[in-house]
Amino acid sequence: MHTYNWAILGLGNIARKFAQDLALVPQARLHAVASRSLDKAQAFAADFGAAHAVGSYEELLAVPDIDAVYIATPHSEHYANALLCLRAGLPVLCEKAFAQNASQAQEMIQVAQAGGIFLMEAFWTRFFPAVNKALELVAAGHIGEVKHLVADFGFNTPYQPTSRLFDPALAGGSLLDVGVYPLFISQLFLGVPSEVKAVATPAPTGVDVNCAMSLAY
Amino acid sequence: MHTYNWAILGLGNIARKFAQDLALVPQARLHAVASRSLDKAQAFAADFGAAHAVGSYEELLAVPDIDAVYIATPHSEHYANALLCLRAGLPVLCEKAFAQNASQAQEMIQVAQAGGIFLMEAFWTRFFPAVNKALELVAAGHIGEVKHLVADFGFNTPYQPTSRLFDPALAGGSLLDVGVYPLFISQLFLGVPSEVKAVATPAPTGVDVNCAMSLAY
């Protein structure tokens, strides 16, 4: 049985959860971690037993025997981080929101396809047993034709202009952070909408504090 | 104690429910009923013990001692029916949807105000004990500031192009029939939205089979 050597690029809270879960997967091992801070990388590597810790994302490319890179930086960095890895031939699992806009996402996919390199958005809800069961029940016709779907996701957080969630430079806002989940669920069950109409409440920084959408099919 | 003499204009299913409920109200009596069919009016009057039954809406105006008229015709007729009664000086309780559009509603209100005559939309959900309790809890601050509200209403019905629900000439469509309820609940708790965006699925007749809206405040 091959054991896959994982690297993590970007070592925030979600990277920590990922590392905790990776330890439960028999065929996976945390092999390398990369942060813009070497101290942070070394501490993270020590916590999870990773063999390699580097203090820049570029240095990660020189670490031998990486099978896949999990990108866990803020949304604003996904495009650059994914291209960095893909161009070095490293398979990528990239956190949602995958990119800041469609043209970034298209370029990421093009580079992956041109190099024949695995690239995937780390959309965990797609693999929830409950979601798979719901898909199965719908496919089997148990609820008849799906005519209407309501999905939402929200949480309460204090306004902090410099935080990832509110800073436009870090691709803040509710849509990119949690709005992608209900949109994804809609797409999973109903496909690509013919029309999308949205309203949002702006934070003082300009990003959306909330966002409501109506999709037509 | 004064007993109010009610008249009903339009004798469909909802009118029948109204008459059943009116019988439970000590200060109210079903006094007159009007249909475009005299047979239907007489049968309805017999079922509910109304003193007067007439075979046209115009004839209702000649019936003595009416205190209020409940208008239960299809949405398409509310404007004409309400104006008929108001211009005869009869107070009106008009079923939802109140009118087909804003200009009709404005004219109905203007005529009522000019004549000093009572006019009200029969928006029963406004008076549900659960709605009043929710308003009370919100006003008391029990859930903090209301930031987000989800409201919907739907039912399953077969497509029949000539039915009230699907015929554009009868002001068919989901928005006027049931969409007004979640819109009203939104307005009750959050006020008038600054922006409304909607999508709809059209029936072959062109009316909306469903309608989804996102409101901004």
Per-residue pLDDT of chain A (217 residues; tens, 9 = 90+): 789 999 999 999 999 999 999 999 999 999 999 999 999 999 999 999 999 999 999 999 999 999 999 999 999 999 999 999 999 999 999 999 999 999 999 999 999 999 999 999 999 999 999 999 999 999 999 999 998 899 999 999 999 999 999 999 999 999 999 999 999 999 999 999 999 999 999 999 999 999 999 999 9
Chain B residue numbers with beta carbons less than 8 Å from the beta carbon of A201 are 216-217
Alpha carbon separation from B202 to A183, B175, B199 (Å, rounded): 22, 11, 10
Q: Which two tokens stand for residue B160?
A: 């029949």
Which of B137, B64, B124 lies closest to B96, judged by CA?
Answer: B124
pLDDT value of position A38: 98
Chain A residue numbers with beta carbons less than 8 Å from the beta carbon of B197 are 197-199, 214
Residue among A199, A214, A216 minimizing CB distance to B195: A199
Q: Which DSSP helix (H) or strand (E) runs through A182?
A: helix A180-190
Alpha carbon separation from A77 to A84, A104, B142, B180, B194 (Å, rounded): 11, 11, 41, 44, 34
Beta carbons of A195 and B195 less than 8 Å apart: no
Chain A nearest-CA distance from B64, in A, is 50
ipTM of the complex: 0.77
Chain A residue numbers with beta carbons less than 8 Å from the beta carbon of B198 are 197, 214
**What are the residue ranges spanned by the domains of chain B?**
4-122, 128-216
pLDDT value of position A1: 75
What is the average pLDDT across B179-197?
A: 96
Q: Which DSSP helix (H) or strand (E) runs through A175?
A: none
Residue among A154, A198, A214 minimizing CB distance to B148: A154
Chain A nearest-CA distance from B106, in A, is 28
Best A149, A194, A199 member to test B by mutation, with max B CBs in 10 Å, is A199
Long-range (24+ apart) CB contacts under 8 A made by B46-55 are B47/B16, B47/B19, B48/B19, B48/B20, B48/B22, B48/B23, B50/B8, B50/B19, B52/B7
A96 counts as catalytic: yes
Q: Which three-class secondary structure state does DSSP give residue A172?
A: coil
Residue B187 has pLDDT above 90, yes or no: yes
- Name the residue of chain B whose CA is nearest to A154's CA: B148
Beta carbons of A197 and B217 less than 8 Å apart: no
Residue among B148, B195, B201 minimizing CB distance to A216: B201
Residue B178 and residue B153 in contact, taking contact as beta carbons nearer than 8 Å? yes
> Which residue in the block uniquely carries the two structure tokens 């115009």?
B58
pLDDT value of position B50: 98
Fold of B128-216: Dihydrodipicolinate Reductase; domain 2 (3.30.360)
Class of domain B4-122: alpha beta
> How far separated are the first and last CA of chain B, in Å rounded?
45
Beta carbons of B198 and A198 less than 8 Å apart: no
Identify the burial level of A207 via C-beta atoms within 10 angstroms of its C-beta, where 0-12 means exposed, 13-18 middle and 19 or more buried: buried
The pLDDT tens digits of the residues spanning B33-64 come to 999 999 999 999 999 999 999 999 999 999 99
Residue B147 has pLDDT above 90, yes or no: no
pLDDT value of position B98: 96
Residue B72's Cα: distance from chain center in Å?
A: 7
Q: Which DSSP helix (H) or strand (E) runs through B28?
A: strand B28-34
pLDDT value of position B1: 75
What residues of A are in the B interface, CB distance below 8 Å? 147-148, 150, 152, 154, 195-201, 210, 212-217
In chain A, the largest separation of any two C-alpha atoms, in whole Å, equals 56
Beta carbons of A212 and B215 less than 8 Å apart: yes
> Which residue in the block uniquely carries the two structure tokens 């990421």?
A108
| Catalytic residue from among B17, B40, B96, B147 | B96
Chain B nearest-CA distance from A10, in A, is 33
Long-range (24+ apart) CB contacts under 8 A made by A180-185 are A180/A96, A180/A97, A180/A123, A181/A96, A181/A125, A181/A151, A181/A153, A182/A151, A182/A152, A182/A153, A183/A151, A183/A213, A184/A123, A184/A125, A184/A126, A185/A125, A185/A131, A185/A149, A185/A151
Percent of chain B with pLDDT over 90: 98
Chain B nearest-CA distance from A192, in A, is 15
Chain A residue numbers with beta carbons less than 8 Å from the beta carbon of B210 are 147-148
Residue A8, φ and ψ in degrees, nearest 5 = -120, 130
The pLDDT tens digits of the residues spanning B154-167 come to 999 999 999 999 99
Q: What amino acid occupies position A53?
A: A
